[in-house]
Amino acid sequence: MSCCGSTAWAGKMAGRRPFSEERTLLVASDRVWFGLPEADWLEAFRSHPRIGERPIVASAAPRSAEWSNHEQSHAAGAEDQIKLALSEGNRAYEQKFGHIFIVCAMGKSAPEILEILRRRMHNEGGAELREAAEQQRQITQLRLKKWLGV
């Protein structure tokens, strides 16, 4: 659950154990993720804090909260003006799409993240859901590698 906040994903991954190598694990993760219905994607999205905010979601695993802090470290240290724009952008995004803005923030600056958010606001609902799912997939891959100590 620290790698992906979808209980269905976690259950299906646990059912596929053992994995003989990293690549097998990562490929299985992608197959399971993209085989899930939208409701399971949305569950995973809810396990994340908003970009620029501290994890406060009670359902987030402690390790997941720690990893989110690290992944979003550039956004957390941004200037107040950028933080405000991210906060306003998060609210507008949620109002338009009905779920939080998900982006694989690792290594991205706060201005880069803000630009990605603004660009994605132009997507239509289905396309944006698929983009958010792809971002969650990337986050999951990073976290699986961390979990393995890679």
105 secondary structure, DSSP code = -
The rounded Cα 97 to chain-centroid distance in angstroms is: 15
Tell me what pLDDT residue 43 has.
98
C-alpha–C-alpha distance, residues 76 and 55, integer Å: 11
Q: Has residue 57 got a pLDDT over 50?
A: no
Residue type at position 62: P
Average pLDDT for 32-57? 88
Ordered by where they begin, the domains of the chain are 7-148 (1.10.3330.10)
pTM: 0.86
Residue type at position 145: K
Residues 104-144 have pLDDT tens digits of 999 999 999 999 999 999 999 999 999 999 999 999 999 99
Active site residues: 48
